[in-house]
Structure formats: structure tokens, C-alpha cells
A and B are shown apart, each in its own frame.
Chain A
């Protein structure tokens, strides 16, 4: 089933031009990988980028550029690391996300696990968050901008259901308390520019353990 919640077009443009930071890029890639509509827009933007680059005035290369390239193609290719297999019930995600899920997963609180993917806590970063069925995320808002892509399961936020592949953008205009729905855990890939700001004492207690 196709996702129902999409990134705004200007985010897809930042994705196609390469202007998104790596953390946000991974989240958008997760959505684009399963969303035919956004995939199509990214294809259009890539074609535009390719044509704009093709129309640039060529710049002279170093004198030995071609011989160097021809020598380099003769060298054996570096061995490719074996591709990790995604958990069968996740949407497909970029490779670094799978690697993080395998190596860095830790329980943060009962029913809640986190796996840092890129960046560092307190700074721009991305991480996986798994929350057991039926749980509520403590009420909170955001200091910067947060992108979310659901990889598995579903949550409800302000009457909207977010299922696998769905994208969400949260910032300081949003104070929310997403609730896991359905009978499986919900796993999300999240990028953030800053820490969450807890809005009640439960959240304040919860945050140090989860490290988000």
C-alpha cells in the first residue's frame, strides 16, 4: 500500500539537490523508496539536475586526467561489503540504517529501544526508535525540525494514522503525544536537529533514559 503522508515538495527538492543533511536524507530516502508519487517527483528532479549539469560550460581537466582514469579502471574493484538483509517486516531502508539496527540497538525503557544511526545525541542526528504496541510517547515538542518515517507498525498522532512508509515533519509548532496503534511494535526512522522538549513530568522523566 502506498504511503498517505508525504514530505512537502521543497523537502524533495532539497533531497534531490543534495542539500539535506545526511540524517534527514536517510529518512526521506526511506519514504521515497516506497512511495511511487515521491519517487516520480525525485526522478523528475534528477532529470532536471542532470540537464542543468549537462548545460554547464565544461571546465578543463588536469592534463593527465584521462590517462589516470583509464589506469584506474584497470585496477580491481574494491570488494563490496555483503548487503545486509532488512528485517522481513520493515519497509526497505538505506544500508546504514540496517547496520545501525543490527549493531547499536539498546533498550532505553521498558518497551522502548533506540539505535543511533548517524550523528550524536544533542546534535543533528538520526536514530531508530522502536516502541511496543499500545504505548504512548510522552507529550513533547521540538526545538528544531524532526523528520519521521515509519518502517514498521503504526502510530496515531492528532487523529492521523501513520503507517509504514508515511512521512512526518514535526517542529516547534507541534506539541504532540503519538500513540502506537495496532498489535505490533512501531519502528520509526527519525532525524532531528535538536533534542525533544518534554512538555510534562512523565516526559521529563522518560527523556534521560531514552537519550533522545
Chain B
């Protein structure tokens, strides 16, 4: 079956629906959803980068767009804005797929940073022209072999590290990612002294660092 043949020029709804079904079946065949493995999702991004593979993009969209929308809703975005940002995040995945390095980051990590940066940019867009999604970051430094540390890309391992955090540390970490609050505001919300929140975050950081890099510093 020629994937590219199927996918070209498919802007009508029925074509899109057909593509969606094919993509869903392809995903079932290769990745056993709903829990697609990280490696499969990474491979889909590589297929987008190398072949402009619309089938792979469709599978990525179906997997990630509903989760990105979920993330943005949790941060307090209105539903239309969350929908639009999820669209833009996946559009950015399509455009920037060639810059994705599966050896450096899990698919979910990369797409999280895209969604987060788009959200930051959105806050700024009201007064200024749009920036590229990574305008507030500095591109990765060229390899420094003596200093480079491999951060685990296996989502199961990462999830396990999060699950192993003591409950009070896990709570502040999740609030940090989902409550749209800086650590000082989290302290207010929980009615805890700032120092307590800082020390929980630092302890959590230490555990996560050790679990994902093997470094105990």
C-alpha cells in the first residue's frame, strides 16, 4: 500500500476520514494503542521529517493533540484557545520534525516543549509580533562529549521515577506543571511556607535527576 499515494491532496473531509481510519489501523498494527510506546511515536516523527509522511502525522495528531488540549485546559486556557493551540502545536511538529533528534528526547518530551513554548508566546502575542516557538530558548550547544549526559528517553522509566516520588514532592511537581503557577504561588495555594515548597522541589529534582541520568550530584 502506498502511503504517500493515499495521503496526497486529501483535503476533503471524506479523504481525511479515510486517512484517519487507515492511520488508526496502522497505529494499531504497529503500536498497540491506546498506550503507544515512546519508540513508536518517535519513529512517527522521524517519518514525518524524512518523507513528509501524512499517515505518520495523522497518527501523531490523533495521539498527541487530545493530550495537548487536555494540558492547556488544565492550565486554565479557554476551550477554543486550547483547541487552537493544540492545532498549532501539531502544525509545529510537522514543520519542525527535521530538528527532532530521537536520541536526545522522547516524542512526548519534544512535543511538551513545543506546546509550552507556544503558550508562552501566546501570552506575549497580544502586544508584539509572533515569535518562532523557540524564541525564548537557546539552541542546543554543539556536542560536548565530556559533559554530555544522557537523559532517559523511556517514558515508562520516567513515569516510574515520578510515581516513586514521595507524595508531598509529587504534589508540588504536578502543581508546578499543571497549575500555571510559579513555586512562590504554589506555596500560597498550599498554605505552606515558601521554604518548604522550595525544599520539596529541590528534593524532587534530586530524585528525578538520579533516576533519569544516574547522577547523584
Q: Which residues does A use to contact B, with CB under 8 Å? A: 2, 8-10, 12-14, 16-20, 22, 25-26, 29-30, 32-34, 36-37, 39-41, 43-62, 64-74, 77, 80, 92-96
Contacts and interface: CB of A to CB of B under 8 A. Distances in A.
B201 A47 contact: no
Contacts of A44: 151, 205, 208-209, 212-213
Given A2-B147, A53-B112, A43 B105 contact: yes
Interface of B: 10-13, 16-17, 19-20, 54, 57-58, 61-62, 65-71, 73-74, 82-83, 86-87, 90-91, 94-95, 105-113, 115-117, 119-120, 123-124, 131-132, 135-141, 144, 147-149, 151-153, 155, 158-159, 161-162, 173-174, 176-178, 180-183, 185, 197-198, 201-202, 205, 208-209, 212-213, 215, 217
A18 B117 CA distance: 7
B205 A41 contact: yes
A10 B147 contact: no
Contact of B138 (A16, A33, A41): A33
B156 to A, nearest CB: 9
A interface, over-half SS: helix
14 contacts: A20-B182, A29-B137, A46-B112, A50-B108, A53-B71, A54-B67, A54-B108, A59-B73, A61-B86, A65-B87, A66-B58, A71-B11, A73-B91, A92-B139
Given A47-B151, A65-B83, A30 B138 contact: yes
Given A43-B105, A56-B70, A92 B176 contact: no
Given A56-B74, A66-B61, A67-B13, A22 B123 contact: yes
B70 A58 contact: yes
B87 A72 contact: yes
